[in-house]
Amino acid sequence: MVSITDIIRPEISSLAAYHVPDAAGLLKLDAMENPYLLPAEMQQALAQHLAQVALNRYPVPSYSGLKQLIADKLGVPADREIVLGNGSDELIAMISVACARPGAKVLAPVPGFVMYAMSAKFAGLEFIGVPLQADLTLDTAAMLAAIRTHRPAITYLAYPNNPTGTLYDADDIVAIAHAVGDSGVVVVDEAYQPFAPTSFMPRLAEFDNLVVMRTVSKLGLAGIRLGYMAGNNALMHEFEKVRPPYNINVLTQAAAEFVLQRVEVLDAQAAELRAQRSQLAMALSALPGVQVFPSAANFLLIRVANAEQVFAKLLDHKILVKNVGKMHSLLENCLRITVSTPEENALFMAALAASLTSK
């Protein structure tokens, strides 16, 4: 028998694999996906475009055309280098590997995106979590104190945050970037930027230690797995060294280039989801016993009296949301709900109302 304890690092053996629940037959409101398909005529044109892709050839590894489209269509400053990843997850892994000096630490508010801590452990880095305040806003004083104590190599700030939807105060992020200084990198994770009112992408020139990371997943292209980051060109040059060769496959590249030339379609879908977010938040707030937290993302976090019971009853109604209550003590009895179409939001609201009142 192979000895797992002799082969696998103990910090890896102690982890659980990232779990994605089976959503077959369910209304899927757990993963912050865009519920809208591309228009039919656009789907047909995309299919014809993809049919011409040379699947027998490796991608051109510079991805210069795709990077130029990202800069032109998604607002990356022209003087900033772009590094591409297979979703944000790979970008986080690349940053972790590049910064994994002996004794280096990663710091982030918690609760936050779980891959910050997991990727740190994968790379042998120590992760320091700084709890949010009770209202799920950033505890800036605690963050600054932790920076002074730990001198992190990487500080993550999700803007807005997952799973809370909180949009941290921009001045607090600036203060954190200044506190980290030239001893570390500050990664502002803008995965949900299409649904937020502000961005740090236009401010990259203000900070040598700032990296802005995004993904096209929440914009409506989750299936193609494409993330990108930009920042100090010297930093991007180093991160590029640990990027796996050909990490963006030719179908992802072709699909992204095709859709980004028509990005106004996705922008219109994002605008509709922002409007639906406001309506859903108001409807949820009107339900007795439901607390709705402010959100600048495409999901809402709510607190109910018994989240485990409500989650189970929603499943009985064939609706899957995310039960985040066990992620952190600050999220006790909290559920995270993806904002969807008016029809799906109505189905969810009816099921939630029934789940709150039934015994």
Our CA angle for 300, 134, 110, nearest 5°, is 75
Token pair for 6: 């002799």
Percent of the residues in the chain that have a pLDDT greater than 70, as a whole number? 99
- pLDDT tops 90 at residue 19: no
Per-residue confidence band for 14, with pLDDT thresholds at 50, 70 and 90: confident
Residue from 33, 19, 113, 24 nearest 338 by CA: 33
- pLDDT tops 70 at residue 183: yes
Per-residue confidence band for 22, with pLDDT thresholds at 50, 70 and 90: confident
Q: Which residues contact 126 (CB under 8 A, 6 or more apart)?
A: 103, 104, 105, 106, 120
| Mean pLDDT, the chain, whole residue set | 96
Residue from 302, 298, 352 nearest 325 by CA: 302
Domains and CATH numbers, the chain: 4-38+265-357 (3.90.1150.10), 55-260 (3.40.640.10)
Per-residue confidence band for 9, with pLDDT thresholds at 50, 70 and 90: confident
**CB-CB neighbours of 267 under 10 Å:** 14
- pLDDT tops 80 at residue 130: yes
The reported pTM is: 0.95
Q: Tell me: the pLDDT tens digits for 30-86?
A: 999 999 999 999 999 999 999 999 999 999 889 999 999 999 999 999 999 999 999
Question: How far, rounded to the nearest angstrom, does the alpha carbon of residue 247 sit from its chain's CA centroid?
Answer: 19
- pLDDT tops 70 at residue 203: yes
Q: Tell me: the pLDDT tens digits for 283-315?
A: 999 999 999 999 999 999 999 999 999 999 999
Q: Given this model, what pLDDT does residue 359 score?
A: 63
Euclidean distance between CA atoms 282 and 192, whole angstroms: 21
Our CA angle for 345, 346, 347, nearest 5°, is 90
| Pairing label, strands 210-215, 185-189 | parallel
Q: Which residue type occupies 177? A: A
Q: Given this model, what pLDDT does residue 356 score?
A: 94
- pLDDT tops 70 at residue 358: no
